[in-house]
Structures are given as C-alpha cells and as structure tokens.
C-alpha cells in the first residue's frame, strides 16, 4: 500500500506521530442507532498503545458530544474533540469555543421536536452545544419531509449552522469553527509536547465534515478518507478494517 510505504519512510528515522481520527465510520462501522456504535476491544487496545507512547499523540475528533465520545473511547492520554471540535479536552488541553451558546441550540431542539411529531422514526439527540436530527429509521418516502423540516427550522435560526452527515442533520452554533480549524488547533498544541524534533501527522475520517480537515491540513498531514466517495484527502482506504490495520502498524512503529 502506498500509504504504508510512505509511513515506513517518514517514521523510520524516529519522528514523532500525531494521529487524529473520526469516530463513527472510521473507528466503528456505521450502524442504525448511534448508541450501538461500540468500539471493539482490539481497536481500543491499539488506541491505548498509541496513547501511551511517548512518540505519539492521539486525538479523536467527532460530531458526537464530548461526554459521549469520552465515555465510548474511555482512554486516558487522548485528546477528545466533541461537537466538531467546539469542545476539546484531554492531555491537559481544554477548549470551549467562547462564542458557542447553548440557548439557540435548545430553542431549535424544541422547534424540531414539535415539527417532527408527524414523522415516525425521526429522533433527536441533544449533545450540549449541538442537536442532531437522526432519520435513518424514517421510511425513504418520508425522508424528503425530514429534509424540508430541517431547512425550515434552520431558516429561522441564522445563528446556527447545519452539517449533514449519514442520514443525520447536526445543528450547532455558527461561529466559524469546524473540524478543519479544530484539527489545526489540536495539531499545533500536540506537536509541541512531542520529544522528537519532527512530527508525522495523520488524519483519517469518513464523513463530509472531515473534508474540511483534509483541506485545512493539506501539505501538513497525511490525510486519509475512509470509503469510496469523492474526497480531498491524499489517500483512501476501503473501510473500518483497513483503518484498524493502519492503526496497528502505527502503534508498532511508535512502541517498537
């Protein structure tokens, strides 16, 4: 694999490593319910090796809420970014976007709940600084209605942005912050804590929101798209199993 060959070359001289990963669709397969996306024990063990290595720094950056993300990965020594990086915590780092307010999100949650009563299968998930509208369980003939409701609610909230994912809409404060800006923030701080003078940066994700990180880290990181959709990433892998193989290889490099 071209990617593994490049990592062999770049990590072979003792360079440090910074790894940033999406969660759903990257570390776990996409599932019908967000609550069912459980990290496999073998994957957690590999992540633990990366997190414990002095040569490596590991971050998980997700649309999930920060508390949910931390509970699912459940590892010390990891930098966690929730709500697309609006909240970041771990390894003595702490960030919450100063202009991100919960009030607009709460009002939108109430508006969505009222509008979706007539749409069986639609589900709302409160994430603190964001609210998600899941419609994976809505019958295909009613999904257009969900999209129309989302657009109508958003039109009344210029203070919010909408991010479309895999049969989910995320509503969050419009503050000029996304996975790209969050990833740059993480990288700049994690690199400083590495003992090595040079760092290899790896970012992997499968979602449309990860495209912002791919663009923001162009020329700075090895960017990896998980899946078959068009992407700005430099490299591509087929699925979660390939990500697991990659992580095992990275862990072997920095723990040898």
Same domain, 69 and 194: yes
| Domain containing residue 111 | 102-173
**Count of beta carbons in the 10 Å neighbourhood of residue 71:** 10
Residues in CB range of 212: below 8 A, 6 or more apart: 178, 179, 180, 181
Q: What is this structure's pTM?
A: 0.95
Summarised one tens digit per residue, pLDDT across range 24-53 is 999 999 887 777 889 999 999 999 999 999
For the stretch 124-183, pLDDT in tens is 999 999 999 999 999 999 999 999 999 999 999 999 999 998 899 999 999 999 999 999
- My answer on whether 132 and 180 are in the same domain is no
- φ and ψ of 104, to 5 deg: -65, -35
Are residues 67 and 144 both part of a single domain? no
**Given 173, 196, 227, which residue is the final one in a domain?**
173
- Where among 120, 147, 173 does a domain terminate? 173
Show which residues are catalytic.
Answer: 22
Assess whether 84 and 129 both reside in one domain: no
Buried b (16+ CB within 10 A) or exposed e, 92-116: ebebebeebeeebbebbbebbeebb
Q: Find residue 191's DSSP bridge partners.
A: none
Residues 181 and 244 both lie in one domain: yes
* Same domain, residue pair 59 and 108: no
pLDDT tens column, 46-100: 999 999 999 999 999 999 999 999 999 999 999 999 999 999 999 999 999 999 9
* 200 and 84 share one domain: yes
Same domain for 52 and 138, yes or no, is: no
User: Same domain for 202 and 111?
Assistant: no
Task: Give percent helix, percent strand, percent coil of the chain, each to the nearest 5.
Answer: 40, 25, 35
DSSP 224-256: EEESSS--S-SEEESSHHHHHHHHHHHHHHHH-
């Amino acid at each position: 694999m071209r990617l593994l060959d490049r990592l062999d070359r770049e990590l072979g001289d003792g360079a440090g490593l910074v790894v940033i990963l999406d969660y759903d669709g990257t570390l776990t397969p996409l599932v019908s319910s967000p609550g069912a996306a459980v990290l496999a024990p073998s994957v957690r063990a590999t992540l633990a090796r990366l997190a414990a290595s002095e040569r490596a720094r590991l971050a998980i950056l997700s649309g999930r809420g920060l508390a949910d993300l931390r509970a699912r990965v459940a590892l010390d020594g990891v930098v966690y970014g929730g709500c697309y990086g609006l909240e970041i915590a771990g390894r003595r780092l702490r960030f919450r976007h100063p202009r991100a307010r919960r009030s607009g999100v709460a009002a939108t949650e109430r508006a969505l709940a009222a509008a979706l009563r007539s749409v069986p299968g639609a589900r709302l998930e409160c994430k603190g600084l964001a609210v998600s509208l899941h419609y994976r369980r809505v019958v295909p003939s009613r999904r257009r209605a969900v999209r129309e409701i989302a657009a109508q609610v958003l039109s009344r909230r210029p203070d919010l942005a909408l991010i479309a994912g895999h049969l989910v809409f995320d509503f969050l404060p419009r503050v000029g912050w996304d996975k790209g800006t969050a990833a740059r923030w993480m990288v700049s701080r994690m690199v400083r804590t590495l003992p090595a003078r040079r760092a290899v940066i790896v970012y992997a994700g499968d979602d449309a929101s990860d495209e912002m990180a791919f663009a923001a880290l162009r020329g700075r990181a090895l960017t990896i798209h998980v899946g078959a959709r068009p992407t700005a990433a430099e490299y591509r892998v087929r699925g979660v199993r390939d990500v697991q193989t990659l992580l095992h290889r990275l862990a072997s490099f920095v723990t040898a």
